Amino acid sequence: MVCSMRNRGGVVRSSAAGIPQPWMDELNDKVAMITDPDGRTAVMTEMAMSAHRRQDVDAGALAEMLELAEAARLWAHAEREAE
């Protein structure tokens, strides 16, 4: 179960490693990811980097976000090949 909370800056975070909920929503948008895996991953990477620059996430959460984005990209390419 993933719950959400707000940090001092008001950013909604999921309990999954302090990752912002809007980013998690992007990660869980399977249709968009399958439609454009590389483009969606680029957007998610930029969202993650921006969150880190704003200090909404620490280095550990940033690393987790980047790893999840890459895993989602690989998953989406595999799904496209299976179609």
Residue 39, both tokens: 């483009």
Return the pLDDT at 72: 97
Q: What's the pLDDT band for 5 if we cut at 50, 70, 90?
A: very low
Q: Model pTM?
A: 0.79
End-to-end Cα distance, the chain: 30
Bridge partner list, 20:
13
**What token pair was written down for 13?**
């975070």
Check: CB of residue 69 under 8 Å from CB of residue 22: no
